[in-house]
Structure 1
């Protein structure tokens, strides 16, 4: 079975939720959640580790029992223990627990009081007013449940970009092993690096007479063949991800990539431009009457339309066509431009590796510097640090920094912004740090004016350098705070603060529109991995994708600077 890390993590989280509902030992519940986090943060596939016969118990939080369960999931695609828990509970509860604001205990309370087992039954109970009568709920909770269920239905089922990437990678490898296949390329929103995708478009060129569309149905993760023909096959993978595979002729490969990569608005704008030139553009090529004048490569298609090639991340019809026509497309940031990572956690709070291990992993990636930014005391669930604890930790960071060669370790903190905009730690402690990142971790529901003033007040603090994950969103599970981003961007500019692009696949916060708006206002940004393990340092690439979608170049992002330049930039705040 071609199981991906996200599948195993999802199973472990379901186990944790059901154990929590059953009032199991909290340490056991936490062990499954920690194992899921470890799997999410791995830089490589668990299947690959097992193929190399590596010992899974060497991974953080994975003991012998969990390692055996991972083996079972990889070999069978299922976990008998989870099925036993589901049978015992009488319902899986999984879908209900994905609704914002409903944790295991609340779902159990609803089940015990109302017998609801599915999202549909929960919605009906909320609509008829039954939820409001359950202890721990009320009219506001009931209304929020209705709104969230409707929002989820409108969004449809979407997958985080990273999850989709994990699911599609082994399928691409499977296709490339077919000797009849010449080229395999992913198009659609996935190629544009959208933060979430609904399905995957794969374009294939192959030898004449080959049966690639039939070959894909033999992939071991296909759970359903929706349709199959000579040039197109649609399948559902066991993860629920839909894949549309199209076989295209070599002569049309570039045109097909253009057609199936761009957003609808981008493609309409391209076709309109073609018509204005007396040409016709479709997935088979660019035509002057019946003569194909371009189509083999994307570059040819764009060039014949009078445009320079447009990188996929920009193909949203947000001005990229006009810029390509006048030679004004920006030089976008790449991973190679990054010289350090300024947001990460260690085992001193909720991370899974030591300061030294994080520094060694960062040095291996070629970084010149990192900042260790533990949580402050208000984030009790993450073991946040108070003043004396932070000072002690900073002394430890300093010792490791002096012992390490080839990388600088900066002392930082991710300090909570309290309801009134004040910070969770005193100034005399913050003044001792190289970097102060301020963040909202609670009271996400504050009214727009209060939430905006809360953040603006924090940005006005003379010791704050960065605003982390500025809108607080969790893609697909928590909407952004209701905040005036224009006011936040002005406050960042006026007070010399940086805005973070948080690279966690669940956050990717700021979004691309706010990135571009901030850059146009003269606000610089920092791309931070928010890594909680060495494996999660690789999440930096997702932040880079987001920065590219926001039209950002290296000069817009401060962690492309040398360490001395960065420290000078940070020192300008005071």
Structure 2
């Protein structure tokens, strides 16, 4: 039994344990062992025969015994016993958003549910809602999730593709017969969801490389003499494209672009470097993110796309005052360490009680702590803001008296997503009329591969935002990436300015600025269209003048 099959068996054991065991450490131990076995460079059979399998970091006594049994007998008695306890296909339920293994174990043990069809029936007949920890709202959410799961089968978020691709690429470049390896396809184009990972390999010895690929991914098969397909992490399809070093650039171009882009490009000249292929074809170089369509091949003049280093600061940052996981001090110091000129703190408003929304007393405490930290993080400027809920009737949470204290206000919808398109549009249009609103946060409320966004009339919202001088957020959280890059041009045409925000709830989530910048690049934006690519002096002046205008109107 090869290492990938062993790793899959260990993962399966981990899943079964989590279905019934309230203590997570046993399941985590098998998951850890699975990753350790998957990464092995040594021969697994030899490690087991010599007893050195127990020396492998991540493999313990209990998990090592299972590995030994799998290698020796091709099966595991423990795994077979677990399989006998549950119907086949029960793990299909994992495709339903927010229905984790513990809840799956609950619905199976209490209702005997082990398939999407059975889960759907229970959600409709009311039996699911009666379970402890569910209720009618959860049952309704599950129904939506089932429909979503059926539509989004075998898709993954972009960061999954990047992590899988980079992990494989690092291993490939260590193979002597491989001269270069690059991630291509939809991952290189930075598409928000992907179905597979494509990797281009430069080699003069394709047969030798093909043999070694079998030790890097599972279930390797040949699609043709230059293309191989395998599976990584037991779930992600990987396509390997082999090319000679002299044709590496040509193949990088071909395997990166969408079908529309490649067909519009026409004959691709032979080239070792991709830019040379563009040059030889007398075509303008088009950045990978812009190769979904052929539009940029026809453009006479194209702006220089935004770079991550163009970003001078950001807004939409949460702390432990609401639902953040890092303190005010930690979030501010981490922002300064990134070299930003400014950062805008925006914990939730009081209506967001489920997220620790701040009442007036907590708000004053928060502002006092910001004041106490400002000298420590200087010369970075700290702007005081809020992510205020757009209430059901379109009015803003807190009201004018409290909203007037802030340097900026992010207006977001966090409730009643089921409004009709007309109702939701009117709700947001009314919020845009509030002079305190600076940004619209996560425009549609979508959660990629988990929740469809609510339906709105984009043109009416963009029109009103342009008129009111309200910016639209590009929410860089990789689970959101909202506003969708496909709608950005319509916003620009109506005079809307965009701003890239991380929606950070921890120090690590500042990295969402990276994914947010990819959205901007896919939309064809330069730094001139991005508010937080402006220097501190300009941003501070803009916010202050907007606040002053509002105060003049209200007086």
Shift of 1:380: 2.3
Decide whether aligned partners of structure 1 residues 537 and 88 sit closer, same or farther in structure 2, where only a CA change above 3 A counts. Answer: farther
Deviations 1:134-159 (A, max 9, x none): 26389999998667545433433111
Q: Is the 8 A contact 2:148 2:449 kept in 1?
A: no
Distance 2:248 2:540 in 1: 48
1:13-162 alignment, distance < 5 Å:
90=86, 95-96=92-93, 98-100=95-97, 111=108, 114-123=111-120, 125=121, 131-134=124-127, 136=129, 148-162=145-159
Selected match of 1:375 from 336, 348, 354? 348
Q: Conserved in 2, the CA contact under 8 Å of 1:167 and 1:239? A: no
Residue in 1 aligned with 2:436?
463
Structure 2 matches for 1:414-429, cutoff 5 A? 414-429=387-402
- Identify if the C-alpha distance between structure 1 residues 379 and 107 changes in structure 2 by more than 3 Å, giving closer, same or farther: farther
Equivalents in 2 of 1:541, 1:16: separation in Å?
A: 36
2:245 is aligned, of 250, 275, 281, to 250
Contact 2:350 2:356 in 1 (8 A): yes
**Are residues 514 and 346 of structure 1, via their aligned partners in 2, closer, same or farther at CA, if it must alter by over 3 Å?**
same
1:206 aligns to 2:203 (yes or no): yes
Q: Which residue of 1 aligns with 2:296?
A: 320
Structure 1 unpaired stretches of 5+: 36-45, 48-69, 272-280, 287-293
Aligned to 2:72: none
SS at match of 1:211: helix
Residue 346 of structure 1: how far off its partner (Å): 1.3
The corresponding residue for 1:265 is 260
Distance 1:76 1:312 in 2: 43
Aligned to 1:182: 179
Quote the Cα distance in structure 1 between the aligned partners of 2:84 and 2:433. 54
SS, match of residue 396 in structure 1: helix
Question: Which of 228, 236, 243 is the aligned partner of 2:231?
Answer: 236
Q: Give the deviation of 1:331 after TM superposition.
A: 0.9
User: Contact 2:477–2:502 (CA<8 Å) still a contact in 1?
Assistant: yes
* 1:342 alignment partner, SS class: strand
Q: Quick one: structure 1 residues 140 and 462, their matched pair in 2 at CA, closer, same or farther if it must change by over 3 Å?
A: closer
1:438 aligns with 2:411: yes
User: For the structure 1 residues 417 and 140, does the alpha-carbon distance in structure 2 shift closer, same or farther, using more than 3 Å as the test?
Assistant: closer
Note if contact 1:113-1:134 (Cα within 8 Å) is conserved in structure 2: no
Residues 162 and 135 of structure 1: CA distance in aligned 2, closer, same or farther (over 3 Å): closer
Quote how far apart the aligned CAs of 1:406 are: 3.0
| Residue equivalent to 1:357 | 330
Give the drift of 1:71.
5.5
1:296 aligns with 2:272: yes
Relative to 1, partners in 2 of residues 1:203 and 1:509: Cα closer, same or farther, differing over 3 Å?
A: same
Cα contact 1:224–1:237 (8 A) shared by 2: no
Residue 523 (structure 1) aligns with = 496
Displacement of 1:243: 0.7
Structure 1 residue aligned with 2:215: 218
Distance 2:143 2:380 in 1: 51
Output the CA distance in 2 between the equivalents of 1:163 and 1:242. 12
**2-structure distance, mates of 1:170, 1:455:** 43
SS at match of 2:284: coil
Residues of 2 paired with 1:426 and 1:400: CA distance? 27
User: Over the residues paired in the alignment, what is the CA RMSD in angstroms?
Assistant: 3.8
Among 382, 388, 400, the alignment partner of 2:373 is 400
Q: Deviations over 1:245-284 (max 9, x none)?
A: 111012222221121111111122222xxxxxxxxx2xxx
TM-score normalised by structure 1 residue count: 0.77
Residues 507 and 135 of structure 1: CA distance in aligned 2, closer, same or farther (over 3 Å): closer
Q: Is the 8 A contact 1:160 1:195 kept in 2?
A: yes
Aligned residues: 496
Looking at structure 1, the residues matched to 491 and 215 of structure 2 have their Cα atoms a distance apart, in angstroms, of 48
Partner of 1:194: 191
Match of 1:307 in 2: 283
Task: Determine the C-alpha separation between the residues in 1 that align with 2:473 and 2:170.
Answer: 34
Distance 2:280 2:124 in 1: 61
Residues 526 and 76 of structure 1: CA distance in aligned 2, closer, same or farther (over 3 Å):
farther
CA positional deviation for 1:16 = 12
Distance 1:87 1:378, change over 3 A: farther
Change (3 A) 1:387 1:95: farther
Q: Which residue of 1 aligns with 2:526?
A: 553
Aligned partner of residue 478 in structure 2, secondary structure: coil
- In 2, the alpha carbon distance for the partners of 1:236 and 1:356 equals 43
Q: Which moved more, 1:460-469 or 1:98-107?
A: 98-107
| Secondary structure in 1 matching 2:179 | strand
How far 1:109 sits from its partner (Å)?
7.5
Deviations, residues 324-383 of structure 1 (Å, cap 9, x unaligned): xx2x12211110100102111112222121222212222221111111111112222321
| Residue 195 to residue 16, structure 1, CA distance change in 2 (3 Å) | farther
**How far does residue 218 in structure 1 lie from its aligned partner after superposition?**
0.9
